[in-house]
Structure 1
Amino acid sequence: MNALQPLFNAITVIFIAVTMFAAGLATTLPTLRAVFTDLPLLLLALLANLVVVPLLGWAIAALFVLPTAGFVALVLVASSPGGPFGAKLSMVQKGDVVAGTAMQVLLAAVASLTFGPMSSGILTTAEVGGGISLDVAALVRTVAILQLVPFAVGLVVRHCARPTALSWHPVAGVVSNVTFMMVLAGMLLGSWRDVVALLGSRTLLAGFLLSVVAFAVGTLLATGPPTRRTTMGGIAAVRNVGPPLAAVGIAFGDEQAVLGALAAVLTSGLAAALPIAAVLGRGRDGGTA
């Protein structure tokens, strides 16, 4: 993995940047304005994703007495809302796709600034591995540049040249999906011994439980009809892999044990959230486009 580390890092950067660029291409100012002006929904979603779920991640990691790598991975994932797959879950469950996509983008943008302080604060307070702490300034700067700048560029293109944005978006979406699979595969292959060691472990179970509980919290702390509430649940259940990967690179030197635990937590979380969305979708004729 060491020889391929520069390639893995480059693909990770491409994945994060292209994902947020694609989100900007698909987002209109009216949809963002609708989320910003719905204060009850906005405040509850921010509370659920930026405060409650990170604290739940900490509680679950402590409850399961996870090893250092698993503890760090779970806290990093829990502190990073706005995963792009959350918008896809809203489609799977035939939910409120417009509100879900807008909230996912908003959470990813806000979390680029809050992820560092939140995850660092939890890890420092928990004194994991002797008191791990993150370089918050470097992390905020890196994540903000990788997420906010590409999203802003995509948003400007959508606002100023809609036909161009519509033609570019499918390509950007494909690149995002392909690079996500490459990043996940790289994490699994590069840390396969650590991942195999985690099979049947508490780390996988903790990641699964975090996703289920986050789905419930996101649904409960939302307003509107059931389709919108469960859509917010799906958004909360799927976390953003970009900031945790940046944190592992900055603070842990791409340590394989942490990468392996991160891959395990992410995959077990998706394994929990996807069936819930599929079951919800079976009972609905259609969603809000």
Structure 2
Amino acid sequence: MDRLQMLFNAVTVIFIAATMFAAGLGATVAALRSLFTSVPLPALALLANMVVVPLLGWGIGALFGLPTAAFVALVLVASSPGGPFGAKLAMVQKGDVVAGAAMQVLLAAVGSFTFAPTVNGILAAADIGKGVSLDVGVLVRTVALLQLVPFAVGLLLRRYAAPTARAWHPMAAAVSNVTFLIVLAGMLVGNWRDVVALLGSLTLLAGFVLAAVAFAVGTLLATGPPARRTTMGGVAAVRNAGPALAAIGIAFGDQPAVLGALAAVLLSGLAASVPIASVLSGRRSAAAAASDSTNSTR
């Protein structure tokens, strides 16, 4: 079991690095400059992910009357932005991958600092749970190593060795796709007992609703063309499991009930966001095919 867990962790690291590397290979400095000099977009993304989604987690947990362990897990997930699945959802939905990857890195970095205060504030206001204290330096280094560095390497290759970047991009995307499926299967197989134990409870529904509403909020609180706005929706819908898992280990003693609820919330969130991205992808493919057909008949 320990070897399987180590293998799963290794595949997860490869998935994150490959996804961010592929996003960097497809990015340009000009596109990133345009993204971050347009102040409303990052400002709205920060508002959606740092304020609105955590409040949604609190509200949904209270509305559904979740037990303490499930409420804590939902708040931990909602308060942790910048999940690496955000860039992958941008690829799945054929959205603005550059904007999705760049915003994901920004949110993960800022979230390293805001996660603990946000969780503490919500749990204190709800009179639930304990104080959360995390090593911000470790979180920031993790974000830099797994997300920022691969993205930056890909971006530099695209800028200074464009032919190489174009040649490597399909391979990096393929590795991202394959490891994405393995990670999804591993999450389901590794946590099926926790998920089954929560069948009939409102925990799974709460995670599903949080992701679906966060997708809508991220889309509404964004600027630019539809592909960019829905990409921001996907970034808001999937959260960063790393800080949440660290908090459970430090502040909640790896309580099985909280760990099980966290797995259920994360999986049900993906069950909501991946189909939305797939539907968007289908619509965009159909629109592109229709446009090509129209152009060919002219």
Task: Indicate how the Cα distance of structure 1 residues 74 and 166 shifts in structure 2: closer, same or farther if over 3 A, else same.
Answer: farther
- Please report how far the alpha carbon of residue 196 of structure 1 lies from its aligned counterpart in structure 2 after TM superposition: 1.0
Q: How does 1:1-289 map to 2 (within 5 A)?
A: 1-67=1-67, 69-78=69-78, 79-81=80-82, 83-91=86-94, 97=95, 100-125=96-121, 126=123, 128-226=128-226, 228-237=228-237, 239-240=238-239, 243-245=240-242, 247-248=244-245, 252=249, 255=254, 260-277=260-277, 282=283, 285-286=287-288
Give the Cα separation in 1 of the matches to 2:8 and 2:31.
34
Distance 1:135 1:112 in 2: 14
Tell me: CA distance 1:275–1:6, structure 2 relative to 1, closer, same or farther (3 Å).
Answer: closer
| Deviation for aligned residue 1:114 | 1.9
Counterpart Cα distance in 2 of 1:258 and 1:180: 25
- Assess if the C-alpha contact under 8 Å between 2:22 and 2:154 holds in 1: yes
Q: 1:122 to 1:39 in 2, by over 3 A?
A: closer
Unaligned 5+ runs, structure 2: 292-298
Cα shift at 1:197: 0.8
The 1:58/1:114 distance shift into structure 2, 3 A limit, reads farther
Of 118-127 and 163-172, deviating more is 118-127
Q: Is the 8 A contact 1:86 1:236 kept in 2?
A: no
Q: Which amino acid aligns with 2:245?
A: V
Structure 1 position 22, deviation (Å) = 1.6
Q: Distance in 1 between matches of 2:73 and 2:135?
A: 16
Question: Structure 1 residues 251, 200: CA separation in 2 closer, same or farther (over 3 Å shift)?
Answer: closer
Contact 1:73 1:265 in 2 (8 A): yes
Q: Deviations over 1:86-117 (max 9, x none)?
A: 313542xxxxx3xx222211222112322233
What TM-score do the two structures reach when normalised by structure 2?
A: 0.79
Asked if the contact 1:25/1:154 (under 8 Å) is kept, the reply is yes
Aligned CA RMSD, in angstroms, stands at 3.1
Separation in 1, partners of 2:179, 2:32: 26
CA deviation profile, 1:44-84 (whole Å, cap 9, x unmatched): 22321233223322332343343455344433433223512
Structure ID, larger Rg:
2
Are the structure 2 counterparts of residues 123 and 235 from structure 1 closer, same or farther at C-alpha, using a change threshold of 3 Å?
A: closer
Contact (CA 8 Å) 1:157, 1:164: kept in 2 or not?
A: yes
Distance change >3 Å, CA 102–CA 138, structure 1 → 2: same
CA distance in 1, matches of 2:246, 2:55: 23
- C-alpha distance after superposition, 1:120-162 (max 9, x if no partner): 2233231554334333332222222221111111111111111
- CA distance 1:245–1:235, change in 2 (3 Å): closer
Asked whether the 8 Å contact 1:46–1:107 carries over to 2, the reply is no
Aligned partners of 1:17 and 1:150 also within 8 Å: yes
Q: Secondary structure at the residue paired with 1:104? A: helix
Give the count of matched residue pairs.
278
Query: In 1, Cα distance between the equivalents of 2:228 and 2:150?
Result: 27
Cα distance change, pair 2–174 in 1 and its aligned pair in 2 (3 A): same
**TM-fit CA distance, 1:213:** 1.3
Q: Secondary structure at the match of 1:4?
A: helix
**Identity in percent:** 60
Compared with structure 1, are the counterparts of its residues 161 and 70 closer, same or farther at alpha carbon in structure 2 (3 Å cutoff)? farther
Q: 215-224 vs 272-281, which deviates more?
A: 272-281
| SS of corresponding position for 1:81 | coil
